Chains A and B, each alone.
Chain A
Amino acid sequence: MAEVSLHKLNKKFDTTHVVKDVDLQIRDKEFMVFVGPSGCGKTTTLRMIAGLEAITTGEIRIDDRVVNEVPPMDRDIAMVFQNYALYPHMSVASNMAFGLKMRKFEKAEIEKRINNAASILGIESLLERKPRQLSGGQRQRVALGRAIVRDPKVFLFDEPLSNLDAKLRVQMRVELKKLHERLAVTSVYVTHDQVEAMTLGDRVVVMKDGLVQQVGEPLELYNTPANRFVAGFIGSPAMNFADVTLVENGGKPVADAPGLRIGLPGELATRARAKTGRKATLGIRPEDIHIATPADAPEYCFEAVVEVVEQLGSEILLDMRVGEALMVASVEPTLRVRAHDTLKLALKPERLHLFDAETEAAI
C-alpha cells in the first residue's frame, strides 16, 4: 500500500530550472510512467522521489509521510537503474541479498526471498554467477530481482530497458507488465520511449522543459492530447500538423491553408468559431487518413502528391505534400501507388485536432 504525491515540486541546478512546479498524485498499485525528451526533467523527478537528489522547493509524500529530508534507505523504495548498477564483485545472489543484509534480515528469510524472486524472473541457474558473466537481459533481470526481494512500497525504474536491443526490449516490456500485475506494487517508470509509456503505463505523465504537459491514461493522451507537444510526442508515426487559418465559409468554420481546406465538425466547430480569423495548427494522425471514397463528405477531402512510398508489409506509409504541408498517411498494404502520384484522400472528421498557434494548447 503506497501512494506517492508530489506537490509544487521544483529542482534547480545552479541557474537551470529543471523541474517546475510538478503536482502529481500517484495512486496505490498504479504504474505511472514519466515520458518526455531528454532533458525534460523526468529522471530528476524520479531521483527526487528516490532521495538521490535534493528537493529545491515543494514536497514529496509517500503515503502520508513527507519524505523531503528522509534518506533513500529509509524511504522503503527500490530502484532499477539504467545501467543496472549491479555490484560487479558480488555474485547474483549476493547482489540480491545486499539490501536485506544491510537491513539485518535473517539468513533463512533472505534465502527464501532470493529463491522466490529468482523463480519469478527465471534466473535460478544464474545465482552463483558474477554480473560480468551475464548478458544484458540477464543483468536486467538481476537488477529487477534486487528490487523485488526488498518488497518495497514503491518501485522506481530509470529507463531500465534503454540498454537492451530492440527485440529484447519488447520482450522485457511484456515481462515488466506481467510482473507489475503479479506484484501489484506502486511503480514509477521513466522512459523517453513513448511506446514503452503507452504499453506499460496505467497513466502517463508527459513532460517537457521541466513542466508537466499532460497526465492521463495512454488512450486519453492519444485521443485528446492537451497540446501540440503531447499530440506530436505520443503516437508513431507522429501526428501530422498543418498551419491553417480559421475562417468562415458559408456560415461554417473551416481550417484553411494553401491547397488544403478542411471543414470542422460538431463541437470542434463551436470551439473554433470563437477564434475565427486566427492562426491555428491542424492535427491529424496518419492512421486517420484514407483514400477518399464517394461516401466521404467533400469538406473532409483533399488532394496530395505522393513523394515517398514506405512499404512496411502490414501497412504503407505515404509521405506526401499537401499544399505547403508535409504529411504522412498510413494506408492499406494492398494499395498500388507510386511516387509522384496525385491522390484524393479523406480524413476522419471526428479525429481532427486543432491547436492554438500561439499557446499550442488544444482548441
Chain B
Amino acid sequence: MTVSALPAAESKRLSPRLRKLEDERWLALALLAPTAILLGLFIAYPFFEGVMLSLSSARVGQPGEFVGLKNFHKIWDDSIFRTTVWNTFWYTGVTTVFKLALGLWLAILLNRHFKGKAIIRAFILLPFIIPTVLSTFAWKWMFDPTFSVINWTLFQLGLITTRINWLGDPDLAMTSIIIINIWRGVPFFAITLLAGLQTISPELHEAAAIDGARPWQRFWHVTWPLLMPVTLVVVLFSVIQTFADFQLVYVMTGGGPANATHLFATYAYQLGIGTGLLAEGAAISLAMFPFLFVIVVVQLLYIRRVETR
C-alpha cells in the first residue's frame, strides 16, 4: 500500500494580523493577555496600592503622606497585634489538624458501600454550602450566654450547674470559634479526600491484604502515601483560607472579648475601617503576607517533591 501524503494544509488566506498568531510567541501572548489583565487589575494593582497605603499616614478623609516603615514599627510594638499573630497561628494550626483528622476519618467511612451513600455524602456537604455568615449566626445563638442551647442541654443532663460564658471568656471564645471553623471545614476535607481515596485501586488493598498487611498497616503503607498529594493540596487551600479568615470571627466575637480572638483580617478591619486608621490597617493586612508566603512556598515545594516521587 502506498502511503498517500496528507493533503498539505492549504494555506487559507488569513489577514496578516491573524497570520502572526501562527507564530507561537504571538499566540502565547494573545492567549495570556486576558488573564494577565484581569490579574493585574484585580490583584496586582490593589496589592500595590495596599503597599503604598501601608507606607503612608493616611486616615479616613486624609490622604496622608509617605512615612516609610513607621506603621510597621508601630504595630510591632502593639500588644494586640502580637496577640493577633499568635491567635492566627493557633487558630490555623489547631483547626487544620482537626479538620484533616476528622475529614480523613469521614472520607474513609464514606468510601465504603452502604445504603443511602449518595444522600449521606450530599448531607455532609451542608456546612460547606450554607453561607458562613448565616451558619455562624446560628452558632452564635447556640453559644449565646443567656439562650445557649448547649448550656441548656448540659444543664438538663446535670453536667453543669452554672452557665458557661462561651463567648465572654477569652479562652472559651477562641475554642468556640475553632469548633465552628472545624465544623465548617470538615466537609471540604472529607469530600476532597474521598475523591482522592476513590482513585486508589481496590486491587492495591487486596494485594496488600494478601501480602499480610493488617487494616492499619494497609492504611499506613498504601492509602496514606497514595493520598498524600491530594492531602497536601487540601491542607494548603485550607491553611490559606483559615489564615485569612474574617467572616466567622467578625460575626461571632468581633475579635473580642478584649481583643482575645482577633485574627489578622479582623484586626486589620477594626483598625483600618473601624477606627479609620487606614494606613495601619493596611500594614497589618500586609503583615500576613510574609507568613503566608513562607507557608505556601514550603508546602508547594513539598507537594512537588511528593508528586515526582
Question: Which of B207, B208, B221 has the most CB atoms of chain A within a 10 A radius of its CB?
Answer: B207
Report the interface size class on chain B.
10 to 19
- Please, which residues of chain A bring their CB within 8 A of the CB of B214? 73
- Please, which residues of chain B bring their CB within 8 A of the CB of A327? none
- Please, which residues of chain A bring their CB within 8 A of the CB of B296? none
Instruction: Please provide the chain B residues from 208 to 228 with a CB less than 8 Å away from any CB of chain A in the complex.
Output: 208-214, 217, 221-222, 225-226
B174-182, B198-206, B238-246 - interface stretch: B198-206
Asked whether B213 lies within 8 Å of A83 as measured between CB atoms, the reply is no
Q: Report which of A51, A52, A73, A89 forms a contact with B211, defined as CB distance below 8 A.
A: A73
Asked whether A83 lies within 8 Å of B210 as measured between CB atoms, the reply is no
CB distance from B199 to the nearest CB of A (A): 11
A85 to B203, CA, bound (A): 6
Asked whether B213 lies within 8 Å of A102 as measured between CB atoms, the reply is yes
A87 within 8 A of B: yes
Q: What 1/0 mask marks residues of chain B from 224 to 261 whose CB sits below 8 Å from any chain A CB?
A: 01100000000000000000000000000000000000
Asked whether A77 lies within 8 Å of B210 as measured between CB atoms, the reply is yes
B304 within 8 A of A: no
A49 to B225, CA, bound (A): 29
Asked whether B208 lies within 8 Å of A98 as measured between CB atoms, the reply is yes
Beyond A89-B309, A102-B217, whether A52 also contacts B225 by CB under 8 A is: no
CB distance from A55 to the nearest CB of B (A): 16
Asked whether B207 lies within 8 Å of A79 as measured between CB atoms, the reply is yes
- Please, which residues of chain B bring their CB within 8 A of the CB of A50? 206, 210
Instruction: Count A-B contacts at CB 8 Å.
Output: 58
CB distance from B208 to the nearest CB of A (A): 7
CB distance from B236 to the nearest CB of A (A): 20
CB distance from A250 to the nearest CB of B (A): 57
A272 within 8 A of B: no
A129 to B211, CA, bound (A): 20
- Please, which residues of chain B bring their CB within 8 A of the CB of A88? 226
Q: Report which of A52, A73, A150 forms a contact with B213, defined as CB distance below 8 A.
A: A73
Asked whether B201 lies within 8 Å of A83 as measured between CB atoms, the reply is yes
Q: Report which of A78, A81, A130, A150 forms a contact with B206, defined as CB distance below 8 A.
A: A81
Q: What 1/0 mask marks residues of chain B from 288 to 309 whose CB sits below 8 Å from any chain A CB?
A: 0000000000000000000001
**In this complex, what residue of A is CB-closest to B205?**
A85
Asked whether A52 lies within 8 Å of B226 as measured between CB atoms, the reply is no
Please tell me the number of chain A residues within 8 Å of chain B, measured between CB atoms: 23
Instruction: Please provide the chain A residues from 43 to 57 with a CB less than 8 Å away from any CB of chain B in the complex.
Output: 50-52
A353 to B124, CA, bound (A): 63
A71 to B309, CA, bound (A): 32
CB distance from B231 to the nearest CB of A (A): 13
Q: Report which of A79, A87, A130 forms a contact with B210, defined as CB distance below 8 A.
A: A79
Asked whether A99 lies within 8 Å of B211 as measured between CB atoms, the reply is yes
Q: What 1/0 mask marks residues of chain A from 50 to 69 whose CB sits below 8 Å from any chain B CB?
A: 11100000000000000000
A182 within 8 A of B: no
CB distance from B79 to the nearest CB of A (A): 47
Q: What 1/0 mask marks residues of chain A from 67 to 98 whose CB sits below 8 Å from any chain B CB?
A: 00001110001110111010111000000001
A72 to B211, CA, bound (A): 8
- Please, which residues of chain B bring their CB within 8 A of the CB of A87? 204, 207-208, 221-222
A167 within 8 A of B: no
**In this complex, what residue of A is CB-closest to B200?**
A88
| 8 pairs of residues in contact across A and B, judged by CB atoms under 8 Å | A51-B210, A73-B212, A73-B213, A78-B210, A87-B207, A89-B225, A130-B309, A146-B211
